[in-house]
Structure formats: structure tokens, C-alpha cells
Amino acid sequence: MCGIVAAIAQRDVVPILLEGLRRLEYRGYDSAGLAVQQDGALHLCKAVGKVAALTDRTLHEKTAGPIGIAHTRWATHGEVTEANAHPHVSKRVAVVHNGIIENYAPIREELKQQGYVFVSDTDTEVIAHLIDAELGRQDSLMAAVQAAVARFQGAYGLAVTDAENPDELIVARMGSPLVLGLGIGENFAASDVAALVSVTQRVVYLQEGDIARLRRDEISIFDADGAEVQREPHQAAVGDTASKGGYRHYMLKEIFEQPRALAETIQGRISNHHLLPESLGPGAQEVLQRSRGVHIVACGTSYHAGMVARYWIESLVGIPVNVELASEYRYRDVVVPPDTLFITLSQSGETADTLAALRAARQAGYLSTLTICNSPQSSMVRESELAMMTQAGLEIGVASTKAFTTQLAALLLVTAMLAQAAGRLDEALETELVNALQRLPDDIEAALQMDAAIRHLAEDFVDKHHALFL
Ligand code: GLU
């Protein structure tokens, strides 16, 4: 899932959209595009490859306008081509989309029968045509988007602009994150707060099923049932911004951030050489005491953290642990043994398969659900009964470093809390574990001090093609 940026202002928004896309580049993407309203018409600009190529095109074509939507695509349906890049257009409507519309095929057939012509292979194009079709039946753009999204299965973050509605933008989310940015006489939306911090730090996180209407001086949010709702504005945290802070690349910076990230993750979970199980949330103590087994469900790096934790929990707590990929778990009819604790891990708290697994788990009869997550405003944290935040901050490097090590620290804390609740952690062992956790930031700092020596050793290996680790 890639990037969305949208803006409505009195000034030209193209530089804002492009800057937002640049700030989302770290997520990876294959093509980029934007649409702005220019003199009552939609002006579209797309490019395969980098945002820089899109920027050149907008300069060449003198693209400008006070309202627009932009996207970086990571193809799921259809090749990486300009035709498949977003925005997708249907007459007066342009749409950008993150995610997957699972039931796009029958909707596409139905729209073809109504005379719509498809010019891309994406699932996204049905969104544009369906909204256009609904505009003929509904009395506002908002109502047309509401009617269209009601038919979608799958995951979406959307931004929609309509040439006949020059004073508003509509955005919607389900299974894919979206945040609104509040300005003065201008408003913004993006799939990630990092895209907005250059224009505003006042943000509102949309919740699952929310649809929002952005005007220049007003924002209205409606929940999945169509009721107008108020969502609290937040101050975007400084850690949400992307900067290399003097390091040669993000991954190096993130490796060196581990002592701080771990210290902050452990903080508030232990005091005076003792564990604080209440820090998991109200009722945690009872859940820990009743747990007779654990299911850990996650994806990618988080899954691997779960595999480490299985060894710890089985040996220290003496209860059975299953670790499973969320993409498998969500499609099984899971049989849940009594008094089993469900644990999910996710850096973003929005990982589509893990979120779907958590929702399935909530219906499946678990003792409780616990999410270990790096993003406090995320869907998974909101939808779990218990939560433990890791304090890694934004991780941009694709190979995980501080996000993984803070997950391990959180899992070791949970393991120790489970062991204590099961009566298997005597005072000496508790002190030993807690002291080891408290020492961890210093130990990592000492390891990082070996940087120059490691660099020297690396020179012996730089030309080698194979390595065997014993
Ligand atoms: N499914 C859409 C496509 O393939 C959106 C992919 C994305 O999230 O970038 O075009």
C-alpha cells in the first residue's frame, strides 16, 4: 500500500502535493501521479518511476491549481504503466486509492454494461466510474462516495475530486490509514502523517469506515453509518518526521537510535526492579493470570519477533505457544483452546492481514487480545483489548532495526509478566530479568561503540559473495 496526498487551499497546491509524495518515497512505489482542478477542468499528470519525473512533467505542463489529489502506486492489479498509475478518472471525477478492492471484477462488468469504458487494468478504476454513476443518482459528491464505498469489499484509502465541486474534496478509509491535516483557510489529507508535517502539525486520524469532506475552512467527518462524528485533533509528534539527522542513510540512523528507543519502550513497564503488568491496560493482571496458552499472529518482521518470543514463553511460562502468519490465519476456521491469549504485533498497526486476523480473533472466543505496536493512533491498538506501545518512532529503512528490537523488548516484558502471573517467576529471577532489560540500552550503546572496528572487519568481507554463519 502506497501513498496518498490531497490538498484544498487558496494557493497552488501542486508543490504541496509533490513535497508530500517525496516524503512518502521511503515506502517504495513504482509510479506516481496527480490531478488538480484547473479552470473548471481536471488536469492530470502521471509518470512511471520517481516523483522527480512527475515533478518535471508538472513543471513542463505548468500544472497548477488550488485543489488536488496525488498518489504513489505500488501495483497490485495490472502492470507498472502510466495508464495504470493513479489518479483514475471518470468524466468529472478523479480518484487515488491505496489498497485493494476485492470485489472489483463484478462491479467492473456491471459498469461496462452501463457503457463505462475502462482504460486500465487496475481494481481502482471501478471506484472512479462507480462514483460517477452514483453522482447521477445522489444529490451530492459526499452521498455519491458514501453509496459507492458501501459496495466495496477489501481495503481502501481514497481521495476524490470532482470538477463540478471546486470547493470540496472527499476522502475515505477502510483497512488502510488516512490522516487529515488542519491548516488556516486550507486543509489536507494523507496516508501517513509524514507527508503533511511541512504544511501542518495539527492532525486528525480517521477511523475505520470514516468518510471526510474537506473544504478550505471546514472539515466534516462521517462514520461508517453516515452519522456525523467529531474526531480529536492531535499534534503530530516530532518523531513522525523523516530526516537523516546527519547519518549517511536512514538505516544507519535507526541502528544508532536503538538505545533510546529501547529505553523508552521499557520505561513505565518496570519500577524498582519490579514488573508493572498494569501498564498493559485495565484488567491485564486477570488476563495474565488466566492465560493457559498464547497465539501470536503477525506478518514479516513482526512474525519473526513472535517466533523468538515462542521460545521465551514456552520455557519461562511453560504454556503452549502458536506463532502464525496473519495471511494464513485470517482464512482458517481457527479452533481456540480455552483461556488462550491472542497477541498481534505490527509496526504500523494497520497491516491489512494482521488487522483482519485481529478482527477474526475478536469473534473467535479468545480470553483477550493484546497488540504490540509502534503507532498509538492505529486501528489495531484501538481494536485490541490490551495494548503495549513500542517507542521506535518512524522507521524508514526497509530492513527493520529498532522496530524489531523494541518488539523483542516488549515481548520479553510480556513473557516476564505471564511468568510472574503463573507463579513461575521468583523474586531473584524477576530482578535478574528486569535488571537485564534496564541494562539493555547501555549494552547496545557499548556494541555500537565498536562501529569503527566493525567497519574495519567489513573490509575483509566486502568482496565476498557467500557467507556461512555457524
Ligand atoms: N490496487 C491499486 C492498484 O494496483 C492500488 C495499489 C496501491 O495501494 O498503490 O493500482
Q: Rounded to an integer, what distance in angstroms lies between the CA atom of residue 131 and that of residue 136? A: 9
pLDDT reading at 240 higher than 70: no
Quickly tell me which residue has 537510535 as its cell. 257
Ligand 1 atom nearest to 71, measured from its CA = 9
Q: Cβ of 198: how many Cβ atoms within 10 Å?
A: 15
Ligand 1 atom nearest to 120, measured from its CA = 10
Ligand 1 atom nearest to 99, measured from its CA = 8
Distance 98 CA to ligand 1 centre (A): 5
Q: What is the largest CA-CA distance in the chain?
A: 75
pLDDT tens-place string over residues 349-400: 989 999 999 999 999 999 999 999 998 778 898 899 998 989 898 888 889 9
Please give the C-alpha separations between residue 241 and each of 218, 227, 267, 276, 301, in angstroms, as whole numbers. 25, 33, 23, 31, 22
Residue 75: band (very low, low, confident or very high) from pLDDT cuts 50, 70, 90: confident
Q: Rounded to an integer, what distance in angstroms lies between the CA atom of residue 298 and that of residue 321? A: 14
Q: Does ligand 1 come within 6 angstroms of the Cβ of 73?
A: yes
Range of weakest confidence among 184-188, 388-392, 413-417? 388-392
Q: What is the pLDDT of residue 30?
A: 87
Q: Does ligand 1 come within 6 angstroms of the Cβ of 191?
A: no
pLDDT reading at 270 higher than 90: no
Please give the C-alpha separations between residue 52 and each of 21, 55, 134, 419, in angstroms, as whole numbers. 10, 5, 35, 53
Residue 272: band (very low, low, confident or very high) from pLDDT cuts 50, 70, 90: low
Q: Is the peptide bond before 106 cis (omega within 30 degrees of 0)?
A: no
- Please provide residue 35's backbone torsions phi and psi, each rounded to the nearest 5 degrees: -135, 130
Mutate to test the pocket of ligand 1, among 24, 48, 76 (most ligand atoms within 8 A of CB): 76
- Taking the whole predicted model, whether its pTM rises above 0.85 is answered as no
Distance 315 CA to ligand 1 centre (A): 43
- Residue 122 contacts residue 161 (beta carbons within 8 Å): no
- Please provide residue 351's backbone torsions phi and psi, each rounded to the nearest 5 degrees: -50, 120
Q: Rounded to an integer, what distance in angstroms lies between the CA atom of residue 185 and that of residue 101? A: 34
Q: What is the pLDDT of residue 242?
A: 63
Ligand 1 atom nearest to 75, measured from its CA = 4
Distance 55 CA to ligand 1 centre (A): 21
Q: Does ligand 1 come within 6 angstroms of the Cβ of 176?
A: no
How many residues are listed for the chain in this entry? 470
Q: Does ligand 1 come within 6 angstroms of the Cβ of 27?
A: no
Q: Does ligand 1 come within 6 angstroms of the Cβ of 99?
A: yes
Ligand 1 atom nearest to 76, measured from its CA = 4
- Please provide residue 204's backbone torsions phi and psi, each rounded to the nearest 5 degrees: -125, 125
Q: Does ligand 1 come within 6 angstroms of the Cβ of 123?
A: yes
399-417: average pLDDT: 96
Residue 239: band (very low, low, confident or very high) from pLDDT cuts 50, 70, 90: low
Distance 200 CA to ligand 1 centre (A): 27
Quickly tell me which residue has 506463532 as its cell. 323
pLDDT tens-place string over residues 283-321: 888 999 999 999 999 999 999 999 999 999 999 999 999
pLDDT reading at 118 higher than 90: yes
Q: Rounded to an integer, what distance in angstroms lies between the CA atom of residue 241 and that of residue 200? A: 12
- Please provide residue 460's backbone torsions phi and psi, each rounded to the nearest 5 degrees: -70, -20
Ligand 1 atom nearest to 84, measured from its CA = 10
